[in-house]
Amino acid sequence: MKIAIMGAMREEIDPILAALGEYTSEEHAGNVFYSAQYAGHELVIAYSKIGKVFSAITASVMIERFGAQALLFSGVAGGIGKELKIGDLIMASALCQHDVDITAFGHPYGFIPEGSVMIETDSDLRSLAAEIAVDMGVELYEGIIATGDQFVASSERKAWIEKTFNADALEMEGASVACVCHNFSIPFFVLRAISDTADGEAGIDFDAFLQSSAQVSAKFILEMVKRIGD
């Protein structure tokens, strides 16, 4: 099976490339895509750069040019659910765009005509992840992840997003990747390790815990690759 593994930043895919050891690379559309064999699957791996536009481009290339049949996103996020702590893992049950606002036309926040506020992730991949979490002895949360082209470091904004979308975590790429995969009918899964708590200390926490949180997410994603198709 051809599986895409995607992150937003170099730090989010470095642990995956290090674990693979051998891979080739190809430049296309302003980015670098890494190819490797792992656990009987063909992998294409890339970091998109931060934000919805770059992540949508990268996901589209992985599907259209490299023929990805499933996409796994590995990365970090800010936690807004009260139970989430730095280092915890959360998989998205669904994703939304918290910075979309055409409420002036009578639509709810996050809604784009001919679309929906929420896009659900693949239920089979979520079930697989739940099994892996039990086997690995790690706690895996499940909830709504909100995406926007903003690094949220405001308690007020955090509270608004949590209330408006019933969101548990915040990041800057997941919902745009979800839009691409949904439109191409590609099963996808988004896993985030909590690197900060999206409040006044978010910038400090993010820098301190980025690499360690990314490693936690990457290890879990590679275990998923091993078991896809079992």
CA distance 14 to 166: 32
User: CA quadruple 51, 187, 95, 154: dihedral positive or negative?
Assistant: negative
Backbone angles phi, psi at 157, to 5 degrees: -65, -40
229 in Cβ contact with 1 (< 8 Å):
yes
Residue with tokens 């996103």: 73
CA distance 98 to 110: 5
- Give the tokens for residue 147: 């995406």
Catalytic residues: 12, 196
User: CA quadruple 189, 195, 201, 203: dihedral positive or negative?
Assistant: negative
198 in Cβ contact with 78 (< 8 Å):
yes
Q: DSSP letter at 69?
A: S
Q: DSSP letter at 82?
A: T
- Give the tokens for residue 128: 């697989």
